[in-house]
A and B are shown apart, each in its own frame.
Chain A
């Protein structure tokens, strides 16, 4: 079963612009994580935000979490061609299982 729903499903932006992806989930969580996956490759862990945190930064990444709305957003600032990938949110409900959302396919246009 999938916990998260990302939107948009696909996003194309010009290099240098900011990219925002959203994730909604259904049940209570311990933490929420964002991953990147290049086509046909493994996952790259980007950032983890705990349920008692509201915002977290890592380099050009900014993640927010609103537990009242059961939603999270991932912002990538000053996008680069290398940011082209699929991005997934994943939730940990506290049972050790990580459940992935459907993902957003991000394409950075030169």
Chain B
């Protein structure tokens, strides 16, 4: 199947700093990418849908000014957590959508663990 990578795999930062997480589709072009957040022992919650060349669509309750998403190319989407605070510590997972014969299929990245001190 298609491969999606994330960088970094983990990051520790001080409160108040901004952190950028990259999501790349390595062997296919993804018109749509998705960002999820997962707190310990909880499920994945969809944060936003990112379409190449247009503004991201955020789920209810997700602050768009807090979580900046840029989808500059068909293989790269970035999530920037601005002015991070300890409550932003979480596992962030992206997925990339590839259109196939039977419809679109999503491929998930390995995740990025963010720890805010």
Interface residues of A (CB under 8 A from B): 1-2, 30-31, 35, 40-43, 45, 50, 88, 96-103, 105
Contacts and interface: CB of A to CB of B under 8 A. Distances in A.
A11 B34 CA distance: 30
B15 interface: no
Contacts of B111: 41-42
Q: Which residue, A1, A35, A41, A42, has most C-beta atoms of chain B within 10 A?
A: A42
B12 interface: no
Q: Which residue, B34, B104, B106, has most C-beta atoms of chain A within 10 A?
A: B106
B32 interface: yes
A99 B91 contact: no
Interface of B: 1, 32, 34, 36, 41-46, 49, 59-60, 91, 93, 95, 97, 102-104, 106, 108-111, 113
A101 B32 contact: no
A40 B113 contact: yes
B16 to A, nearest CB: 26
A86 B91 CA distance: 15
B34 A98 contact: yes
A76 B53 CA distance: 42
Contacts, number: 49
A38 to B, nearest CB: 11
Contact of B60 (A1, A30, A96, A97): A1
A98 B96 CA distance: 11
Contacts of A2: 43, 45
Contacts of B106: 96, 98
Given A1-B60, A42-B109, A30 B103 contact: yes
A99 B46 contact: yes
The 9 closest A-B pairs by CB, nearest first: A42-B110, A100-B44, A43-B108, A42-B111, A100-B43, A102-B43, A103-B43, A98-B106, A96-B104
A88 B110 contact: no
Contacts of A100: 36, 43-46
